[in-house]
């Protein structure tokens, strides 16, 4: 979350020029900046190692400089980084390198501090833009127990192969997910899952260019309820949400539902603007602390806020800015939070470009709720907890949304 919460060989001479051009200070990633092109070198080559070394040294130095805890959560970071350097930079390809490097970053115990391989970054940013992209037609959700299938589209090779919601992905082409290349159009990959009974399930999945699914949704539901859902926080999304809330204020529905399920966060400034569309007066959203700073984030009311009944939907995929918004509105009594406990990944981070076109995120400040509750590792506990069963999820029964609509219809 910006503070604003994965080859082909080329000539050695050209590689040297690309690497030399990266020696200057690396800039923070700013909204609207183009993504740097990936540096492409042959797997297992001397050039691959040189790229690995430069990325590793730049990234570990940034972590040492920026990480929000001076004690690095009890880890002697310079020592750990030095001890594990050789094993990481010796990796033969881009995805193995980033997987190995993220294992080093995991010792900091901060999900906001991570690195993303250049080609995985390109794909993720294409998804965020709504571009068509190669996919298996399934979505995964991370938990401390691994990556689980959270949803399966009606098109794509996953549904054709019989992949089921709730299966845990073990490997993709023999590698853990973080170390595997993302789907490519027409390429067949082997995925190994474990089902809910502990049985091994092996499936062949083919990457296909599938239509992008909407990242923002508004619906008029039964009982005069307006439903608004979005997957991240950025400037255009904030503009769109405020438009929906202004129309809701004019329509005077029985209530508004803001769905933050599977919303993994984004820019804090966008979150503050959206919060402004839901409050009547200035309100504290979060408290920020770090090595040398203590700051209060406050939301200002929008011109036409929705001030009527409000329900926030959350689940284990709600993270970062979505957790801050839910907690602030819950603590003030402005909204009722319904659904599942959120993921508890709430640290303000800075994002930086890496020399090969990859991306580094570093946790730089701790965030607390207005009442000083630390959400990191805890998450937001719903006022009304609803945990769908596996059978309900596979049948596409949205019991959380149904309960929210019923609540607003019964208490206009």
- Mean per-residue pLDDT for 295-299? 93
CATH superfamily of 133-210: PDZ domain (2.30.42.10)
What would the CATH number be for the domain defined by 12-121?
Answer: 3.30.750
| Residue 193 backbone dihedrals phi, psi, to 5 degrees | -120, 165
- Mean per-residue pLDDT for 147-153? 96
Is the predicted pLDDT of residue 8 greater than 60, yes or no?
no
- Mean per-residue pLDDT for 15-43? 57
DSSP code of residue 113: S
131 Cβ contact partners less than 8 Å away, ≥ 6 residues apart = 212
Tokens of 268: 């804090």
Is residue 118 within 8 A of residue 357, CB to CB? The reply is yes
- Mean per-residue pLDDT for 205-218? 92
Q: What is the pLDDT of residue 7?
A: 25
Q: Using alpha carbons only, give the angle 404, 339, 227 rounded to the nearest 5 degrees.
A: 40
Least-confidence region, from 24-28, 211-215, 222-226, 300-304: 24-28
pTM over 0.85: no
For residue 119, CA distances in Å to 24, 36, 131 come to 22, 11, 15
- Mean per-residue pLDDT for 14-30? 35
State whether residue 227 is helix, strand or coil.
strand
Q: Give the total residue count for the chain.
A: 412
Rg (C-alpha) for the chain, rounded Å, is: 22
Q: CA–CA separation, 285 vs 232, rounded Å?
A: 17
Is the predicted pLDDT of residue 168 greater than 70, yes or no?
yes
pLDDT tens digits for 358-406?
999 999 888 899 999 999 889 999 999 999 999 999 999 999 999 999 9
- Mean per-residue pLDDT for 144-150? 94
Tokens of 207: 């990457």
Q: What is the pLDDT of residue 130?
A: 75
Local confidence band at 339 (pLDDT 50, 70, 90 cut-offs)? very high
Q: What is the pLDDT of residue 1?
A: 37
pLDDT above 90: percentage of residues in the chain: 75
Q: What is the pLDDT of residue 288?
A: 87
Q: Sketch the domain layout of the chain as residue ranges.
A: 12-121, 133-210, 216-410
Q: What is the pLDDT of residue 24?
A: 33
Is residue 261 within 8 A of residue 317, CB to CB? The reply is yes
- Mean per-residue pLDDT for 55-74? 95
Sheet with strand 188-194: strands edge to edge? 138-143, 146-152, 168-172, 188-194, 200-206
**Protein fold of 216-410:** 2-enoyl-CoA Hydratase; Chain A, domain 1 (3.90.226)
Q: CA–CA separation, 335 vs 338, rounded Å?
A: 10
pLDDT above 70: percentage of residues in the chain: 91
Local confidence band at 90 (pLDDT 50, 70, 90 cut-offs)? very high
What pairing do the DSSP bridges indicate for beta strands 146-152 and 168-172? antiparallel
pLDDT tens digits for 34-44?
778 899 999 99
Return the closest-CA partner of residue 112 out of 58, 69, 166, 163: 69
Least-confidence region, from 93-107, 140-154, 250-264, 291-305: 291-305
Is the predicted pLDDT of residue 260 greater than 80, yes or no?
yes
Tokens of 226: 């307006």
Return the closest-CA partner of residue 338 out of 304, 388, 301, 373: 388
Q: What is the pLDDT of residue 75?
A: 96
Q: What is the pLDDT of residue 30?
A: 55
State whether residue 214 is helix, strand or coil.
coil
Local confidence band at 175 (pLDDT 50, 70, 90 cut-offs)? very high
| Residue predicted with more confidence, 123 or 407 | 407
Q: What is the pLDDT of residue 371?
A: 93
Compute the mean pLDDT over every residue in the chain, rounded to the nearest whole number. Answer: 89
* The domains spanning 133-210 and 216-410 adopt the same CATH topology: no
For residue 315, CA distances in Å to 137, 143, 246, 263, 386 come to 21, 12, 26, 9, 9
- Mean per-residue pLDDT for 244-268? 94
Tokens of 249: 């204020």
Q: CA–CA separation, 68 vs 71, rounded Å?
A: 9
Is residue 149 within 8 A of residue 167, CB to CB? The reply is yes
| Residue 97 backbone dihedrals phi, psi, to 5 degrees | -60, -50
Is the predicted pLDDT of residue 16 greater than 80, yes or no?
no
């Amino acid at each position: 979350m910006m503070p604003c919460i994965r080859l082909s060989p080329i000539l050695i001479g050209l590689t040297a020029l690309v690497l030399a051009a990266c020696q200057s200070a690396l800039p923070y990633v700013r909204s609207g900046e183009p993504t740097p092109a990936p540096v492409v070198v042959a797997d297992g080559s001397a050039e691959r190692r040189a790229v690995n070394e430069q990325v590793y040294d730049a990234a570990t130095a940034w972590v040492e400089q920026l990480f929000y805890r001076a004690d690095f959560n009890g880890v002697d970071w310079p020592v750990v980084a030095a001890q594990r350097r050789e094993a990481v930079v010796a990796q033969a390809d881009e995805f193995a390198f980033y997987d190995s490097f993220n294992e080093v970053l995991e010792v900091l115990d901060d999900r906001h501090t991570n690195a993303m391989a250049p080609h995985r970054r390109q794909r993720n940013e294409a998804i965020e833009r709504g571009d068509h992209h190669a996919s298996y037609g399934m979505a995964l959700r991370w938990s401390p127990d691994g990556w689980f299938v959270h949803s399966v589209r009606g098109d794509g090779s996953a549904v054709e192969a019989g992949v089921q919601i709730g299966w845990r992905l073990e490997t993709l082409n023999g590698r853990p997910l973080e170390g595997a290349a993302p789907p490519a159009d027409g390429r067949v990959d082997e995925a190994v899952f474990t089902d809910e009974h502990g049985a091994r399930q092996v499936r062949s999945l083919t990457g296909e260019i599938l239509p992008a699914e909407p990242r923002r949704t508004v619906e008029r539901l039964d009982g005069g309820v307006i439903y608004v859902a979005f997957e991240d926080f950025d400037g255009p999304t904030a503009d769109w949400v405020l438009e929906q809330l202004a129309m809701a204020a004019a329509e005077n529905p029985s209530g508004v539902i803001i769905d933050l399920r599977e919303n993994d966060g984004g820019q804090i400034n966008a979150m503050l603007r959206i919060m402004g569309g839901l409050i009547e007066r200035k309100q504290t959203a979060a408290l920020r602390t770090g090595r040398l700073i203590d700051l209060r984030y406050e939301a200002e009311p929008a011109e036409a806020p929705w001030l009527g009944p409000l329900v926030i939907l959350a689940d284990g995929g709600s993270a970062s800015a979505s957790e801050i918004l839910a907690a602030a509105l819950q603590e003030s009594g402005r909204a009722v939070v319904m659904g599942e406990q959120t993921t508890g990944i709430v640290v303000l981070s800075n994002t930086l470009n890496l020399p090969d076109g990859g991306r580094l995120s570093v946790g730089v400040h701790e965030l607390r709720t207005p009442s000083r509750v630390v959400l990191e590792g805890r998450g937001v506990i719903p006022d009304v907890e609803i945990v769908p069963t596996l059978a309900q999820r596979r049948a596409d029964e949205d019991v959380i949304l149904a309960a929210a609509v019923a609540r607003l219809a019964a208490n206009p």
